[in-house]
Structure formats: structure tokens, C-alpha cells
Amino acid sequence: MTLPQPFIQFLLSQAVRILAIAVLGTVAWNTPAIAEEKPLSVPAAVAKVRPSVVTILTRGMPSAPSLHGTQSGSGSGIVLDTTGYILTNNHLVEGVTSLVVGLPTGRLTPGRVTARDFLLDLALVKINATDLAPATLKASAALEIGETVVAIGNPLALKGGSTVTVGVVSALERSVLTPNGETLYNLIQTDAAINPGTSGGPLVDLSGQVVGINVAIAPSAQAISYAIAIEAVYPHIRSMMLRGTISRPDFGFTPVTVTPSIAASFGLEAERGILALNVDPAKIAGAAGLQTGDVITALDQRQLYNIGDFWHSAMQEDEQPSLHMTIQGRTGQSTLTMPRPAMQKFTP
């Protein structure tokens, strides 16, 4: 039997349609639902973030050289939101009597410090201004060693706006000892130049997002600069806005870094560690047996040299329900076990 020509054409068209659907269905199945974000050029990344970078001019600041470079009475900051919160370094605003914020438009406006944390070297400054351009913070910065980053800031408060330097991520998870005897953790090492006045400004990846806060240089080396990783800072920003400080567990004692002068004043045999003062026997550490005058030399077998070491170890995420303190007390060395406190989290 011979089929009518129109019917044959209909069958052929349906076969082609079914084949096309099958092919297109396969392509759609193998194509990612969300395309990866393509890197911007360096000028495009700078253009995206530069309107969020401000200059911070201070009075009453000590002028001694430090890990952060020669103090010049100026630094940088990052606009966080349209209400006027600016993120910067604590060492820029510690001890100041007044400060002024220079906006990207060139206008100067008074600012006030609303929160500080010397352990993370962070501070919040509040200004009254309109038309602010908040930066985008990269909360989960999946950085790779060798990728391009850009440091933006206002070195020496030079006229004409912020300065840009370009480099790569040289290393991750660095820690450095500051001149005040504390340790800064969670640092990004980069060879992008960070000069006096650039501290507090953003370190940016090629998506135009802030991955770090410029904080320090290695004074005895070349092309070694550091930025505090935004990934480590991000969970604490809301706490600083709401409480004026970073929320940390209440162990029920006052920790003090053991220095030669502290050891001599309290007659301590330990040369390093954390001296426990004002121990409350009803709280976590006191209930575990800690006494005023004890020196904590290790926490979960991590050696302690200063308060920064203590809090860095105490606030590590761990599935173990307990913390183990190595104690140098009046009767010798011992180990105390206390419950691991719950961490209060704030969502920015």
C-alpha cells in the first residue's frame, strides 16, 4: 500500500521534531544552571569598588613606627551600608581625639568610632551622609594562591582620590605578631603594595568584591603585605553594629597576656601564657577548677603566647564537646576540662 505524500511528510516532520527535542534536552541537561561569574578586568574591578573607599583623617594618634607602617594620621575605610557604617582598622582610630572621613566625592564629614576590637584590629566608624555606595563583601572567599588581587586605599592622604596597586595572593592563613604583643590571624599575604594610609582599605578580587581589609606590611621585607580575610571578619560585623563589640564566650575570668613585667609583678614561674584574673567559680572556667593566678599555657594542645592565641583557639569550630586547658598553677602543671561554649552568631 502506498501512503499519501502529505502523510509521509507529516511523519518525517514529527520524527525531526522528536529528534530535536531529544538533542536539546540533552544539551540542557549537561549545561550548568548558573554560569560561573566571569572575572572583570582590573580597571572594571577598581571602578566597581573605588566609590566605596573613603579616607580617614585622625587627630591624637601616636606617631611611632609599627607593623602598619609609619603613622601618618590618615588611613582608609570601606563603606558597608547606606546608613553610614564604615569598616576600618582599630589601629587607625585607637587613641584618637577626633576624626574626619573624606568621601570619594571630595567632601569631608565628621565621623565617630562606634565599635573597636584590638584582637582582630577592626573598628566601625559612623558618619551622617547620603548617596553612599556600599561595597560588596565576599563572605566565602574561595581564594587561590596566585590569583590577581587589587589593593585600594589612600596612602599619605594624597589628593585626587584613592590609589590602586595590583598583585597576587602570595599565601593564605598567615599569622603575624604585632608590636603590642598580640597575634593577628586569618591573614591573606599579597605582593600588592600596602603603604601607610592604605590600611583599612579593601583588597579586591577580579569579581569586584572585597576579600580582605588591608592591615599590615612586613617592614624587613619587600612585597610582603597582609590583609585580614573578609571570610573571618564577616560573621562579626553585625555584632559590632548591634553591641559595639565582637561577641565572645564568657568563660568567667579576665585573661591577661603574660609578659616579663606581668610575670615579675605576680611572681609567676611561667614565662608565657594567659594569666587568669577575677575567676568566677560559678562560670565555665571556674567550675572546671581554674583559679585566680593560674596561667593557661595551652588550649587543646595549642601553645598560648597571648590573648589572641587564646581566643583563636577557643573559638575554633570543633565537634568535640570539651576544651582542655593546660594550667601552670601554684601546685604545678595540670589539665582542666571544661564544656565548649556555644558560639553566638550574628547574620550580617
Q: What is the pLDDT of residue 48?
A: 95
239 and 268 within one domain: no
CATH number at residue 71: 2.40.10.10
Supply φ then ψ for residue 163, to 5 degrees: -110, 145
What are the residues whose beta carbons fall under 8 Å from the beta carbon of 61, sequence distance 6 or more?
71, 73, 92, 95, 96
Does one domain contain both 239 and 168?
yes
Domain containing residue 114: 52-127
Looking at the structure, tell me whether residues 65 and 119 fall in a common domain: yes
Same domain assignment for residues 237 and 265? no
Decide which of 219, 243, 267 is a domain's last residue: 243
- In angstroms, the CA 233 to CA 311 distance is 14
DSSP letter for 3, please: P
pLDDT of residue 54: 95
Same domain, 165 and 92: no
- Specify whether 200 is located in the same domain as 277: no
Q: What is the CATH number of the domain that holds 308?
A: 2.30.42.10
| Residue 285 in domain | yes
Give the sign of the dihedral formed by CA 279, CA 296, CA 257, CA 228.
negative
In a domain, 140, yes or no: no
pTM of the model: 0.79
- Structure confidence at residue 26 (pLDDT): 37
Q: Which of 98, 127, 156 is the last residue of a domain?
A: 127
Please tell me whether residues 189 and 219 are part of one structural domain.
Answer: yes
- Contacts with 56 (C-beta within 8 Å, 6 or more apart), sequence order: 74, 75, 76, 77, 86, 88, 92, 93, 99, 100, 101, 102, 111, 125, 200
pLDDT per residue rounded down to tens, the chain (348 residues): 454 554 445 444 555 444 443 433 333 333 333 334 668 999 999 999 999 999 999 876 544 444 544 344 789 999 999 999 999 999 999 888 889 999 988 899 999 999 999 889 999 999 999 889 999 998 766 899 999 999 999 887 677 678 899 999 999 999 988 777 778 899 999 999 888 888 999 999 999 999 999 998 887 778 899 999 998 888 889 889 988 888 888 899 999 999 999 999 999 988 899 999 999 999 999 999 999 999 999 999 899 999 989 988 888 776 778 899 999 988 888 999 998 876 655 444
The pLDDT score that the predictor gives to residue 98 is 87
Whether 204 is covered by a domain: the verdict is yes
Residue 30 within any structural domain of the chain: no
- Residue 38 domain-assigned (yes or no): no
Residue 325 pLDDT: 94
* Residue positions annotated with a catalytic role: 91, 121, 199
Residues 238 and 288 in one domain: no
Question: For residue 141, what pLDDT is reported?
Answer: 65
Residue type, 187: L
Does 118 reside within a domain?
yes
> How many domains are there within the chain?
3
Distance between CA atoms of residues 252 and 283, nearest Å:
5
Question: Domain for residue 156, yes or no?
Answer: yes
> Which residues neighbour 187 within 8 Å (Cβ) at sequence distance 6 or greater?
173, 174, 175, 176, 215, 216, 226, 227, 228, 229
Going by C-alpha positions, the residue among 68, 52, 152 that lies closest to residue 104 is: 52
Asked, for residue 97, whether it belongs to a domain, the answer is yes
Secondary structure (3-state) at 196: coil
